[in-house]
Structure 1
Amino acid sequence: MGKAKTVKGFWYRQRRFPQFSLPADAINSAAAQLPVIIVAHRYGAEVAGLLAMTLRILGAPLGLLGKSVLDVFKRHAASRYREYGECRDIYIRTFKVLSLGSLIFVAVMLFLSEPIFVIFFGEKWRFSGTIATWMLPYFALAFIASPLSYMVYIAGKQNLDLLWQVALLAMTVTALSVFQDYAVALKVYSVGYAALYVVYVAMSYHFSLGDKR
């Protein structure tokens, strides 16, 4: 009987995972794949290939660095939150480190993105460097927000994460489907993604306050 209660209690505490996290992850995966698919359909394979190259080349190192920060943040923030009901100080310190890294990345890519792509991949990929500058708002905010987004799991707010993912999917489809000019579409997509990340950072900071709210 006691074991049954323990199992029941565990599944009750973890009920938000199948309810919210699984569909949120599925929507996030769809939103990640759609840009190249929509761009290929609307603006042609060449633009889609250049976009895919940009996302892959810049996303991989930023994702790796972000994961390193996430691993540290997850461990310390979760421990602090369990013990004290909040982790604001850890959140702020992590936010400052990520913001500094993001600022350095933007400063470098703003002026050197095209030369970097030409040097490493050849002249034919120069325009990927141009697309990289259009995508800087997205990459800059993604680097900051992604590690800090783990606060939704620490605070048990997966329902809000699901709503955010739905908004992301809607923004992605709208931004890349409405405009006739691919340059405008990609810029709007980048800024829209960055704006949603600002919302996510604000939410995650609010969650970090815990009992201090």
Structure 2
Amino acid sequence: MPALRESINKVFQSEFYRNILSLFSGMFLARLFPALFALIIVRIYSPENFGLFVLYITIASTLSIISTGKYENAIILAETKTEKRHIFWLAQKINVLVNVVAALGIFVYILVEGVELITSVLQLVLIPLYSFFFAAVQLLRNVLISNKQFKKLSFLEITRSLTTGILQCLFFAFPETGLFMGAFLAQLLIYFVYARMIPEAQWNRKFLFTKEERNYGRRYINFPKFSVASEIFNFLSSQLPVFLIKPFFGSTILGLYSFPHRYVSTPVQLLSTSVSRVYIQKARSLKNNVSDLSRLTFSLFKKQFLIGIIPFTVMTLWGQAIFRVVFGAEWEFSGFLAQLIAPWLFVVMLISPLSAIMIVMEKQKISMFFNILLMAFRIAGLLIGGIILKDISWAIGLYSFTGFVFFVALGAYSLKLAGVKPGDIMKFVFKILIVILLPLILLRIWM
């Protein structure tokens, strides 16, 4: 017990882990508010309104992936405030150009297709507007990460979530557009409020690309060259079950899969995002200090492993029984699917934050090829399960197994980049598997 208490005290005394805790708390509240507002929103908007909102905001979010050329990641690698400022406005000007072109394309579509319904026109016009401000807020977030202003970043996430919920409720009189309008205005307000607080985001009064911005554009050209495609493939890869389960197995099975995926992946996303944003800044500062970077990365790997191994093992072994007791017999099969995806989500929680080292080491090309291969194998797994075997369990099992294998490989590569010795990793993992995993497996067999 004294050793455990001392270990916990060391964690809380570490600025690195305090920053993670601060950001995690903010992210948790930012996710909590939408859940609370949902209790109101479901009573003032119809399922059709939700469907249209999800469609349009998905298009806008996809557009935002390419709208900055992924130069926002270069902000984290920048050394000085001047460099961050130039990269910020390089990305922001690209953001303007991409979304102006998108807006022109939408106006042409409206004219050619003869879209006359004012609500449809407004939804289409909001796509580039939302995309622009969503990407602009991402730029602000990365400046805050680079400056280690994690409390301010937490407050940004909380206020954005709260503002979105309030505005969506206030626009209840416009059911067709209220959800999207509320989300757009929240992004707009958050950008202008926080841009005033961040020196790097102050307007430079130059509309054309400056010489410095062009130089940094060339210096970090691998971000638009490889990271944009990588992000698109990653996004599409994550949406594959939505696209392929329904045609093969129907809406009911899609719902039975989506339910456990949502509730099991939510804590994974919260923890991974919080850790990743703090780790990437710290790893950048230790880039030229291999021993300290290796020590930090291995320490983080061990803590992540210890946090996740018990709950995910329990879900893998008893997921079906847990879902039957907690959610009812009709969701028992969802629990079985949760058992299939739990090992994959465990390695996602473990490796996803550490893979940020690839941005620090500027390995964008490898990241792109990884996401292309992952998507190809995931498609193959779902097609084998859906067309050849015609069994949802095999489809999800192959999808999960593919993700597990690829993320283990990604983890091995990321840890190697950070200078962590493979022998140290294997020794730690083997010890934990013997001490924790084996007893749980034996308990499952005996029960």
Check whether TM > 0.5: yes
1:202 matched to which residue of 2?
412
CA distance in 2, matches of 1:36, 1:54: 14
CA distance in 2, matches of 1:53, 1:62: 15
- Pick 1 or 2: higher relative contact order, CA cutoff 8 A, min separation 6: 1
| Structure 1 unpaired stretches of 5+ | none
1:38 matched to which residue of 2?
244
After superposition, residues 7-22 of structure 1 pair within 5 angstroms as: 7-22=213-228
Deviations 1:8-59 (A, max 9, x none): 3311222111111111111111111111221111122222111111111111
Given candidates 156, 162, 169, the residue that maps to 2:368 is 162
Given candidates 293, 302, 320, the residue that maps to 1:114 is 320
CA distance in 2, matches of 1:166, 1:194: 16
CA distance in 2, matches of 1:37, 1:52: 12
Q: Secondary structure at the match of 1:209?
A: coil
CA distance in 2, matches of 1:125, 1:48: 13
Using a 3 Å threshold, how does the CA distance of structure 1 residues 85 and 16 change in structure 2: closer, same or farther?
farther
Q: Secondary structure at the match of 1:149?
A: helix
After superposition, residues 152-191 of structure 1 pair within 5 angstroms as: 152-179=358-385, 180=389, 181-191=391-401
1:98 matched to which residue of 2?
304
Larger radius of gyration: 2
Given candidates 336, 339, 363, the residue that maps to 1:133 is 339
**Percent identity (aligned):** 27
Note if contact 2:260-2:338 (Cα within 8 Å) is conserved in structure 1. yes
Q: CA deviation at 1:6?
A: 3.0
Q: CA deviation at 1:138?
A: 0.9
1:79 matched to which residue of 2?
285
**Aligned residues, how many?**
207
What is the TM-score when the length of structure 1 is the normalising length? 0.89
Q: CA deviation at 1:105?
A: 2.0
Note if contact 1:36-1:51 (Cα within 8 Å) is conserved in structure 2. no
CA distance in 2, matches of 1:6, 1:142: 38
Q: CA deviation at 1:184?
A: 1.5
Which range moved further: 101-110 or 3-12?
3-12
Given candidates 344, 348, 353, the residue that maps to 1:142 is 348
Which range moved further: 153-162 or 66-75?
66-75
Deviations 1:93-137 (A, max 9, x none): 111111112212223213442344344433321211110101122
| Structure 2 unpaired stretches of 5+ | 1-85, 87-209, 421-447
CA distance in 1, matches of 2:304, 2:246: 33
